[in-house]
Amino acid sequence: MHVVVDGNGVPLAAKVTPGQAHESKHLEGVLEAVRLKRSGGRTLRRPRRLAGDKGYSYPRIRRYLRRRGIRAIIPRRKDQRASSRPFDKESYRRRNMIERCVGWLKESRRLATRYEKLAVNFLAMIKLAMIRRCLRLLDSPDRT
Protein backbone atom coordinates (compact mmCIF):
# COMPACT_ATOMS: atom_id res chain seq x y z
CA MET A 1 0.00 0.00 0.00
CA HIS A 2 1.40 3.37 -1.05
CA VAL A 3 -0.28 6.56 0.15
CA VAL A 4 0.30 10.23 -0.66
CA VAL A 5 -0.48 12.52 2.28
CA ASP A 6 -0.52 16.31 2.42
CA GLY A 7 1.22 18.37 5.10
CA ASN A 8 -1.85 18.28 7.34
CA GLY A 9 -2.16 14.49 7.42
CA VAL A 10 -4.95 14.26 4.84
CA PRO A 11 -4.60 11.23 2.55
CA LEU A 12 -4.78 12.27 -1.11
CA ALA A 13 -4.16 9.12 -3.16
CA ALA A 14 -3.36 5.45 -2.71
CA LYS A 15 -2.08 2.60 -4.82
CA VAL A 16 -1.84 -1.12 -4.15
CA THR A 17 1.23 -2.96 -5.42
CA PRO A 18 2.68 -6.44 -4.93
CA GLY A 19 4.27 -6.92 -1.52
CA GLN A 20 7.69 -7.78 -2.93
CA ALA A 21 7.90 -4.60 -5.07
CA HIS A 22 10.08 -1.78 -3.73
CA GLU A 23 8.09 1.32 -2.81
CA SER A 24 10.33 3.67 -4.81
CA LYS A 25 9.34 1.99 -8.08
CA HIS A 26 5.74 3.16 -7.70
CA LEU A 27 6.22 6.77 -6.59
CA GLU A 28 5.39 8.23 -10.00
CA GLY A 29 2.12 6.30 -10.28
CA VAL A 30 0.90 7.37 -6.85
CA LEU A 31 1.83 11.02 -7.44
CA GLU A 32 0.04 11.03 -10.80
CA ALA A 33 -3.13 9.85 -9.04
CA VAL A 34 -3.33 13.08 -7.00
CA ARG A 35 -5.78 15.62 -8.39
CA LEU A 36 -7.01 18.53 -6.31
CA LYS A 37 -9.59 21.04 -7.49
CA ARG A 38 -8.53 24.63 -7.00
CA SER A 39 -10.58 27.77 -7.16
CA GLY A 40 -11.16 28.72 -10.77
CA GLY A 41 -11.60 25.09 -11.82
CA ARG A 42 -7.91 24.33 -12.40
CA THR A 43 -6.61 21.00 -11.16
CA LEU A 44 -3.51 20.88 -8.97
CA ARG A 45 -1.41 17.79 -9.60
CA ARG A 46 1.97 18.66 -8.15
CA PRO A 47 3.12 19.41 -4.65
CA ARG A 48 5.77 22.04 -4.06
CA ARG A 49 7.79 19.68 -1.88
CA LEU A 50 7.92 15.94 -1.41
CA ALA A 51 9.28 14.37 1.76
CA GLY A 52 10.40 10.78 1.87
CA ASP A 53 12.81 8.56 3.72
CA LYS A 54 16.14 7.23 2.41
CA GLY A 55 14.29 4.47 0.56
CA TYR A 56 13.35 7.10 -2.03
CA SER A 57 16.88 8.42 -2.50
CA TYR A 58 17.50 7.33 -6.08
CA PRO A 59 18.73 9.43 -9.01
CA ARG A 60 15.66 8.37 -11.06
CA ILE A 61 13.29 9.75 -8.43
CA ARG A 62 15.28 12.95 -7.97
CA ARG A 63 15.25 13.53 -11.76
CA TYR A 64 11.50 12.88 -11.91
CA LEU A 65 10.85 15.41 -9.13
CA ARG A 66 13.23 17.99 -10.62
CA ARG A 67 11.55 17.76 -14.05
CA ARG A 68 8.21 18.54 -12.44
CA GLY A 69 9.49 21.38 -10.27
CA ILE A 70 9.00 19.47 -7.02
CA ARG A 71 11.59 20.03 -4.32
CA ALA A 72 12.85 16.72 -2.91
CA ILE A 73 13.21 16.57 0.87
CA ILE A 74 14.83 13.16 0.91
CA PRO A 75 18.01 12.45 2.86
CA ARG A 76 20.83 10.90 0.85
CA ARG A 77 22.02 7.42 1.60
CA LYS A 78 25.59 6.96 2.80
CA ASP A 79 26.65 5.37 -0.49
CA GLN A 80 25.59 8.48 -2.43
CA ARG A 81 27.49 11.64 -3.07
CA ALA A 82 26.53 14.70 -1.05
CA SER A 83 24.55 17.46 -2.74
CA SER A 84 25.64 21.08 -3.02
CA ARG A 85 22.19 22.09 -1.73
CA PRO A 86 21.88 21.83 2.09
CA PHE A 87 19.36 19.33 3.43
CA ASP A 88 16.24 20.98 4.90
CA LYS A 89 15.96 19.25 8.28
CA GLU A 90 13.10 21.48 9.44
CA SER A 91 10.84 20.41 6.55
CA TYR A 92 11.91 16.79 6.94
CA ARG A 93 10.70 16.79 10.55
CA ARG A 94 7.17 17.37 9.29
CA ARG A 95 7.33 13.99 7.57
CA ASN A 96 5.89 12.50 10.74
CA MET A 97 2.47 13.58 9.44
CA ILE A 98 2.84 10.94 6.71
CA GLU A 99 3.81 8.23 9.18
CA ARG A 100 0.98 9.18 11.53
CA CYS A 101 -1.61 9.09 8.73
CA VAL A 102 -0.43 5.70 7.45
CA GLY A 103 -0.39 4.42 11.04
CA TRP A 104 -3.94 5.68 11.52
CA LEU A 105 -5.07 3.96 8.31
CA LYS A 106 -3.48 0.70 9.45
CA GLU A 107 -5.37 0.87 12.75
CA SER A 108 -8.21 -0.38 10.63
CA ARG A 109 -7.82 -4.11 11.17
CA ARG A 110 -9.00 -4.86 7.68
CA LEU A 111 -6.08 -2.88 6.17
CA ALA A 112 -3.39 -4.07 8.55
CA THR A 113 -4.20 -7.74 7.94
CA ARG A 114 -5.44 -7.50 4.34
CA TYR A 115 -8.32 -9.91 4.36
CA GLU A 116 -9.25 -9.12 0.76
CA LYS A 117 -7.89 -11.47 -1.84
CA LEU A 118 -8.27 -9.10 -4.80
CA ALA A 119 -6.27 -5.88 -5.03
CA VAL A 120 -9.31 -3.95 -6.28
CA ASN A 121 -11.25 -4.85 -3.11
CA PHE A 122 -8.28 -3.98 -0.90
CA LEU A 123 -7.94 -0.60 -2.65
CA ALA A 124 -11.64 0.02 -2.04
CA MET A 125 -11.11 -0.61 1.69
CA ILE A 126 -8.14 1.79 1.67
CA LYS A 127 -10.27 4.47 0.04
CA LEU A 128 -13.04 3.96 2.58
CA ALA A 129 -10.49 4.37 5.38
CA MET A 130 -9.18 7.53 3.66
CA ILE A 131 -12.72 8.93 3.55
CA ARG A 132 -13.14 8.13 7.25
CA ARG A 133 -9.87 9.94 7.96
CA CYS A 134 -10.98 13.03 6.02
CA LEU A 135 -14.35 13.10 7.76
CA ARG A 136 -12.66 12.75 11.13
CA LEU A 137 -10.35 15.66 10.34
CA LEU A 138 -13.30 17.80 9.27
CA ASP A 139 -15.22 16.91 12.42
CA SER A 140 -12.41 17.60 14.93
CA PRO A 141 -12.15 21.18 16.19
CA ASP A 142 -8.34 21.25 16.29
CA ARG A 143 -7.93 19.44 12.93
CA THR A 144 -5.31 16.90 14.10
- DSSP symbols for 34-76: --EE-TTSPEE---SEEE--GGG--HHHHHHHHHTTPEEE-PP
pLDDT at 84: 65
* Side chain identity, residue 109: R
Domains, the chain = 2-139 (3.30.420)
What percentage of the chain reaches a pLDDT higher than 70?
Answer: 94
**Does this model's pTM top 0.95?**
no
pLDDT at 63: 92
pLDDT at 124: 93
Low-confidence ranges of the chain (pLDDT < 70): 44-45, 84, 142-144
DSSP string, 81-140: PPPSSPP-HHHHHTTHHHHHHHHHHHTSHHHHHT--SSHHHHHHHHHHHHHHHHHHHHHS
Q: Measure the CA–CA gap between 23 and 118, rounded to whole angstroms.
A: 20
pLDDT at 108: 81
Instruction: Give the relative orientation of helices 119-139 and 96-106 as an angle to the nearest 10 degrees.
Output: 110
CA distances from 135 to 25, 29, 33, 107, 125 (A): 31, 25, 20, 16, 15
